[in-house]
A and B are shown apart, each in its own frame.
Chain A
Amino acid sequence: MSNLDQVFVTLLHWVVGLVPASLQPWVSTLVIILAIMTVFGTCFALTTILERKILGRMQNRYGPNRVGPCGLFQPVADGIKMLTKEDIVPFSSDQVVHFLAPLVLTIPIWLAFAVIPFGRNMTAIDLNAGLLFFFAIGSASELAVFMAGWAGQNKYSLLGAMRAVAQMISYEVPLVLAAVPVVMLAGSLSLNDIVQAQSGYIAGGLPRWNVLTPWGLAAFIMFLIAATAESNRSPFDLPEGESEIIAGYLTEYSGFKYALFFLGEYMGLFAITSLAVTLFLGGWHAPLPVLEWLPSWFWFGLKFSALIFGFIWIRATLPRLRLDQMLSLAWKFLVPLALLNLLAAAVWHWSGQCRLFPGSMAVRWLVCAAILVFPGIRLGRSLNGLSATPRQYRYAK
């Protein structure tokens, strides 16, 4: 069991042992970088084809099934197509910024994977401020998106970039606020410690995952909503908005640069999904004691895949939001609820230690849920009222 669990760690040690001692730290770093890039690169290729197939099935279509068995080689065909396309740089564009934008988007997102614990002893760098590092690195993508939109000298690009920046900065707030209670209760910013804090089982054999607490469940849902918006996926795909502004900030990009944006978008999704697994779904921990014999990286992969499927499912279901709806959802619903969630987490933590609640789970659940549900319904009503008032146009009469 422990052999299978540690198979990648053992492999790394074996490879590193092959080279002289002075080179070992470098080789170790290189191997880890290669491993992460290979695994998530493959993941990216598989997700593009599986997403299209799942979307197809959800719309009662087949999806791509022509290239290779069941269309599985479709990513290869797509890749060749992207690489052989002409790289068009508009004459009036800002050439340097136009060139830099896809790189600025892609590189920080790869860095974000460095702090994620993919399994037992499988963290590339165990930073003691890992979560902070993740959010700091992740917010560099806003800059890249605005660079892309600005460099194109195109009104659609610029509109898309403005939308993207408005959306990503707005949703950064609930994203971080949803993650804060986890840090509060784990008492650490290190993702390894956060996973460690979710180990073990409560009396009923249920795992001690954050998602199985009232504040954790609320934070998980808010985190997923904010993560969808952060990665510009449907229903928050306003920055691209094909039917409204052509392709938003991607309008002036073609060929491999477009592919890099595409890659960056999916990598961002993978990184933030990995973080969601780590923060709320117990990281690499097994859900039941009897299932502990399965390797830790398998559990991480399973939870990761399930969440990615959830994102695809949501994409297949929901239509695009309007800009004002998107912003009000962030500022009028998610941010207040995330702040209240801090209170709920504090109450949950305090009531667990206090003698006032004699260990009664049900009472704690009810109290914490009440803190979140009633304001949630109230705030939800205010969101519903949004569409009731007719819009006033000042200039477009």
Chain B
Amino acid sequence: MLGSGIIRGMIETGRNFVGSYFVKDRLTTVQYPEEKLAPQENARTIPFLVYDGDDAAAGLRCTACTICEQECPPKCIYIIKDKAKKPDFVGKMQLFPAVFDIDISVCMSCGICAEVCPFESIKMDQVFTLSSDTRFGSLLLHKEQLAKSNDYFRKIHPTDATAIDAERAETKSKAEAKARAAAAAPAAPAVPAAPTKAVTP
């Protein structure tokens, strides 16, 4: 009959109108600043640097190899190597960055830096409230601001972090076993020195 579709439609909208006041499930809108959805595990915004332990300066995984700097498509990473060296997690002597800057106004969140990093050091963050009242200064993040603990990494990317932690633990135990074997057989005194030379550019 003429008009029956209109009546049915109006019943539907009327039901929505009344229902939205009583059935909370109907309102799917998330009221953003007050309530926030947890980000998806694969979500990514800008890169950050992972460090182990409690001290950001000591535990930084980055070895200033500059692969990320070279691979970065918009060239937003800037690295200066420190002259000194420090031991990494297996006790090998490695370089570390004196300056590690990321200009997040240039960064396009592609995640290539995180993919190419051979030291599992640079990873993608999930923070997105990055706006600031100055145009340039506060959008250029330094090493201190970029460094975040492995606990944080484990929290935002649990799957990734667990796999990496397991792999690193295995590498570490292998290296320790090797070192113990080397210590037991009192030959080859220059075992730790030789690979360090190879890494040194």
Question: Which A residues are within 8 Å of any B CB, using their own CB?
Answer: 54, 57-62, 313-314, 316-318, 376-377, 380-381, 383-384
Q: Is the CB of A60 within 8 A of B28?
A: yes
Instruction: Kindly list chain B residues whose C-beta atoms are within 8 Å of the C-beta of A380.
Output: 1-3
Q: Is B171 an interface residue (CB 8 A)?
A: no
Q: Which residues of B contact A384 (CB under 8 A)?
A: 2
Q: Are A316 and B2 in contact, CB atoms less than 8 angstroms apart?
A: no
Q: B10 in the interface, Cβ–Cβ < 8 Å?
A: yes
Report yes or no: B6 in contact with A317, Cβ–Cβ below 8 A: yes
Q: Is the CB of A317 within 8 A of B27?
A: no
With an 8 A cutoff between CB atoms, is B21 at the interface?
yes
- Other than the known A58-B16, A60-B19, A380-B2, what 20 A-B pairs have Cβ atoms closer than 8 Å? A54-B17, A57-B16, A57-B17, A57-B20, A58-B13, A58-B14, A59-B16, A60-B16, A60-B26, A60-B27, A61-B20, A61-B27, A62-B27, A62-B29, A62-B31, A317-B13, A318-B9, A377-B1, A380-B1, A381-B2
| CB-nearest residue of chain A to B20 | A57
Q: How far is the CB of A218 from chain B (nearest CB, A)?
A: 13
- Minimal Cβ-Cβ distance residue in B for A54: B17
B14 interface neighbour in A313, A376, A383, Cβ under 8 Å: A313
Query: Digit string of B1-38 for contact with A (CB within 8 Å is 1, else 0)?
Result: 11100100110111011011100001111010000000
Instruction: Tell me, rounded to whole Å, the shortest Cβ–Cβ distance linking A337 to chain B.
Output: 11
Chain A CB count within 10 A is highest, among B9, B13, B16, B28, for: B13
Interface of A is mostly: helix
B residues neighboring A (CB under 8 Å): 1-3, 6, 9-10, 12-14, 16-17, 19-21, 26-29, 31
Interface SS majority for chain B: helix
> Could you say which residues of chain B place their CB within 8 Å of the CB of A381?
2
With A60-B20, A376-B2 known to touch, is A313 a contact of B10 (CB < 8 Å)? yes
What's the A-B contact tally at a CB cutoff of 8 Å?
46
- Chain A residue contacts of B31, Cβ below 8 A: 62
Q: A60-B16, A313-B13, A313-B14 are in contact. Are A383 and B2 (CB under 8 A)?
A: yes
A61-B10 in contact given A377-B2, A384-B2 (Cβ < 8 Å): no
What is the CB-to-nearest-CB distance from A136 to chain B, in angstroms, rounded to a whole number?
32
Give the distance in Å from the alpha carbon of A57 to the alpha carbon of B29 in the complex.
Answer: 11
Do residues A317 and B28 form an inter-chain contact, with CB atoms below 8 A?
A: no
Chain A minimum-CB-distance residue to B19: A60
A393 and B157 CA atoms in complex are apart in Å by 58
Bound-state CA distance A61–B13 (Å) is: 12
Q: Is the CB of A316 within 8 A of B29?
A: no
Contact of A57 with B21 in the complex, beta carbons under 8 Å: yes
Asked whether A58 lies within 8 Å of B9 as measured between CB atoms, the reply is no
Contact present for B13 and A316 (CB under 8 Å) = yes
Shortest C-beta distance, A392 to chain B (Å), equals: 25
A32 and B112 CA atoms in complex are apart in Å by 71
Cβ-closest chain A residue relative to B9: A317
A380 to B27 CA separation, bound complex (whole angstroms): 37
- The interface residues of chain B lying within 8 Å CB-to-CB of A62 are 27, 29, 31
Chain A residue at minimal CB-CB distance from B33: A66
User: How long is the Cα–Cα vector from A316 to B28 in the complex, in angstroms?
Assistant: 18
* CA gap between A316 and B10 in the complex, in Å: 8
